[in-house]
């Protein structure tokens, strides 16, 4: 098979990112871009982000997860702690997040350290989820092989019966991680491949250094 994509070409013309417009704290630029995407390009699924971990086999692996909260401290998502990503994070908490918002021709890459959030925060979020999502979090032994879809559906039906008109407790293998950032790269596509890239690095004094990077 051969599919030559050499003539797939696009001119990026939707915006600019200048050093003079960058705040001291990259979370503020993240928030500004997040709001803009949410308002003008919601079809980009603004809170979908790619999480890359270093696996136990030494290979990086990336997958999409949903950002559920962000603060100056970091980025929170929820998952199964015993999944492949959970095991990877336990061994190596250094991870990378990336957002690609093609409507605005923007990318943000964030390196950081992942840690479990406190249990009562995970409890609060779990409680807020629809019952179907609560049950599927319990049913899915995420990342493990299963015999068939029917096995999963049967397990779900059994659990539905078991918890009928009862509160569903959060299983201790499911909860949130916070990624505490140490570096950001903001990328804004520009014409003629002269894209804007602004990098932030967390310094020892907890201030952020800012630099323009070659595209
Ligand atoms: C749009 C989208 C959103 C997703 N959100 C989550 C999420 O918030 N948490 C999660 O554990 N998996 C989420 N997934 C599934 C993951 O990409 C992945 O398949 C799953 O977490 C298992 O990954 P692992 O085996 O590498 O641990 C999402 C997938 C997509 C495409």
Tell me the mean pLDDT in the region 198-209.
96
Q: What is the share, in percent, of the chain residues with pLDDT greater than 70?
A: 100
Model pLDDT, residue 102: 96
Query: Are 75 and 110 spatial neighbours (Cβ–Cβ below 8 Å)?
Result: yes
- Residues 138-196: pLDDT tens digits? 999 999 999 999 999 999 999 999 999 999 999 999 999 999 999 999 999 999 999 99
CB 122, CB 170: distance < 8 Å? yes
Pocket test for ligand 1, best of 79, 100, 134, 173 (most atoms within 8 A of CB): 79
Which pLDDT band holds residue 39 (cuts at 50, 70, 90)?
very high
What is the CA 52 to chain-centroid distance, rounded? 9
Q: Please state, in angstroms and rounded to a whole number, the distance separating the CA atoms of residues 21 and 38.
A: 20
Backbone φ/ψ region at 45: left (φ over 0), alpha (ψ -120 to 50), beta: left
Question: What is the per-residue pLDDT for 140?
Answer: 94
| Cα 5 to ligand 1 centre (Å) | 29
What pLDDT shows up at residue 139?
96
193 noted as active-site residue: yes
| Mean pLDDT calculated for residue range 59-78 | 98
* Phi, then psi, of 49 in degrees rounded to 5: -135, 150
DSSP assigned state of 123 = H
**SS3 state at 149:** helix
Compute the mean pLDDT over every residue in the chain, rounded to the nearest whole number.
Answer: 97
Q: Does the reported pTM lie above 0.95?
A: yes
Rounded distance between C-alpha atoms, residue 125 and residue 148, angstroms: 30
Q: What is the pLDDT of residues 11-26, one digit of tens each?
A: 999 999 999 999 999 9
Q: Output the pLDDT for position 122.
A: 98
pLDDT digit string (tens) for 97-139? 999 999 999 999 999 999 999 999 999 999 999 999 999 999 9
- Cα 65 to middle of ligand 1, angstroms: 5
CA angle, 201 as apex, 18 and 107 as ends, to 5°? 50
**Rounded to whole angstroms, how far apart are CA atoms 36 and 104?**
9
For residue 61, give the ligand 1 atom closest to its CA.
26
CA distance 71 to 27: 8
């Amino acid at each position: 098979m051969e599919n030559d994509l050499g003539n797939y070409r696009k001119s990026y013309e939707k915006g600019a990112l200048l050093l003079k417009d960058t705040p001291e704290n990259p979370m503020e630029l993240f928030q500004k871009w997040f709001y803009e995407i949410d308002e003008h390009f919601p079809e980009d699924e603004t809170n979908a982000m790619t999480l890359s971990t270093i696996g136990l086999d030494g290979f990086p692996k990336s997958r999409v997860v949903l950002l559920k909260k962000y603060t100056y401290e970091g980025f929170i998502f929820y998952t199964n702690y015993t999944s492949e990503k959970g095991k990877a994070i336990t061994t190596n908490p250094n991870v990378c997040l990336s957002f690609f918002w093609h409507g605005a021709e923007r990318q943000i890459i964030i390196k950081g350290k992942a840690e479990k959030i406190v249990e009562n925060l995970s409890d609060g979020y779990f409680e807020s989820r629809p019952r179907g999502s609560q049950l599927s979090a319990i049913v899915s032994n995420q990342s493990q092989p299963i015999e068939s879809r029917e096995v999963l559906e049967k397990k779900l039906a059994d659990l539905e019966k078991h918890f009928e008109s009862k509160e569903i407790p959060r299983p201790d293998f499911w909860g949130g991680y916070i990624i505490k950032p140490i570096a950001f790269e903001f990328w804004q596509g520009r014409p003629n491949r002269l894209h804007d890239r602004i990098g932030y690095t967390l310094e020892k004094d907890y201030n952020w250094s800012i630099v323009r990077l070659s595209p």
